[in-house]
């Protein structure tokens, strides 16, 4: 399975004749309260914004008007919209995650040696073991917890906060909202679900930018 956290989405698009701005409000599905600082973005790109204290947001999607819109927030499952209005304000409801506290308790019972092994396995599968993966650093590994299945054949990973990744090879800072990660020891396969928002702050200096752009081109 391709490690999607390593590369910024490369797309071809046609410029449209007018600006497209999507507007809306992000709310909690359980109580209808407005969600502050939710992330609204085009998955796999650096195009995004955050909701204000009233849950309101505006995002210019002119270059990616036909692409799905992803909404993520701390403590909630991400939502991806493929069919949404560009003309009228939209309302998006996020479902709270309910497992996190229970999983932290389970994690606390594991030994330091077991956690170290779980983290290595997670990094190898999630980031990849190649050059780019080895040059990625997860900045907040303490926010990741693990749980073994009943038979210990399945390892599940949970993140209480977005996973913050620095890709030193390609010059990206990545915020990854992990919804699901499972590794199956018996057949050495895994699956994960989530979405990524990219930031290119690492390449602000012109010489660095050219260097990273060349590397990104080679990576694709």
The CATH code of the domain that includes 43 is 2.60.40.1120
DSSP lists the bridge partners of residue 70 as 41, 80
Helix ranges restricted to H, the chain: 100-108, 112-126, 131-134, 206-219
**Mean pLDDT confidence for 62-76:** 93
Tell me whether residue 150 is exposed, middle or buried, using C-beta atoms within 10 angstroms of its C-beta: 0 to 12, 13 to 18, 19 or more. Answer: exposed
**Which residues are CB-neighbours of 140 under 8 A, at least 6 positions away?**
161, 163, 164
Residue bearing the bigger pLDDT, 134 or 71: 71
DSSP lists the bridge partners of residue 27 as 34, 93
What confidence category does residue 148 fall into, taking pLDDT thresholds of 50, 70 and 90? confident
What is the distance between the alpha carbons of residues 10 and 216, in angstroms, rounded to a whole number?
10
Residues 75 and 56 in one domain: yes
Long-range contacts of 49-55 (CB under 8 A, 24+ apart): 51/25, 51/26, 54/25, 55/25, 55/26, 55/27
Residues 204 and 116 in one domain: yes
Q: Structure tokens of 44?
A: 């796999």
Kindly calculate the radius of gyration of the chain based on its CA atoms and give it in whole angstroms: 19
Q: Is residue 146 one of the residues assigned to a domain? A: yes
Average pLDDT, the chain: 83
**Residue 72 domain boundaries:** 21-94
Q: How confident is the model at residue 208, as a pLDDT? A: 53
**Mean pLDDT confidence for 50-73:** 95
Q: Is the pLDDT of residue 95 over 90?
A: yes
- What are the φ and ψ backbone dihedral angles of 108, each rounded to 5 degrees? -60, -25
**Which residues are CB-neighbours of 46 under 8 A, at least 6 positions away?**
8, 197, 198, 199, 200
Q: How confident is the model at residue 218, as a pLDDT? A: 53
Least confident of 35-39, 137-141, 205-209: 205-209
Q: Is residue 74 one of the residues assigned to a domain? A: yes
Q: Is residue 165 one of the residues assigned to a domain? A: yes
What confidence category does residue 202 fall into, taking pLDDT thresholds of 50, 70 and 90? low
What confidence category does residue 107 fall into, taking pLDDT thresholds of 50, 70 and 90? low
Ramachandran quadrant class, 44 (left: phi over 0; alpha: psi -120 to 50; beta: rest): left
Q: Is residue 113 one of the residues assigned to a domain? A: yes
Question: How many folded domains does the chain comprise?
Answer: 2
Residues 118 and 212 in one domain: yes
Residues 88 and 104 in one domain: no
- Is residue 79 helix, strand or coil? strand
Question: Which of 63, 94, 125 marks a domain boundary?
Answer: 94
Nearest CA among 54, 49, 61, 47 for reference residue 27? 54
What is the distance between the alpha carbons of residues 162 and 64, in angstroms, rounded to a whole number?
24
């Amino acid at each position: 399975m391709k490690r999607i956290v390593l590369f910024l989405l490369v797309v071809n698009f046609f410029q449209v004749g007018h600006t497209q701005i999507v507007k809306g409000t992000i709310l909690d599905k359980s109580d209808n309260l407005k969600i502050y600082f939710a992330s609204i973005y085009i998955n796999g790109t650096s195009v995004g914004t955050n909701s204000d204290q009233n849950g309101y947001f505006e995002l210019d999607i002119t270059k990616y008007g036909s692409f799905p819109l992803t909404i993520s927030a701390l403590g909630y499952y991400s939502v991806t919209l493929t069919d949404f209005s560009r003309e009228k304000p939209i309302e998006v409801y996020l479902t709270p995650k309910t497992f996190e506290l229970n999983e932290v308790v389970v994690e606390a019972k594991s030994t330091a040696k077991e956690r170290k092994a779980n983290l290595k396995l997670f990094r190898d599968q999630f980031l990849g073991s190649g050059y780019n993966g080895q040059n990625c650093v997860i900045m907040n590994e303490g926010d990741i917890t693990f749980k073994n299945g009943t038979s210990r054949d399945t390892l599940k990973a949970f993140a209480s906060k977005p996973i913050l990744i620095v890709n030193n090879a390609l010059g990206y800072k990545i915020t990854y909202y992990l919804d699901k990660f499972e590794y199956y020891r018996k057949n050495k396969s895994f699956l994960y679900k989530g979405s990524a928002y990219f930031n290119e702050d690492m390449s602000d200096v012109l010489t660095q930018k050219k260097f990273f752009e060349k590397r990104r081109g080679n990576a694709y």
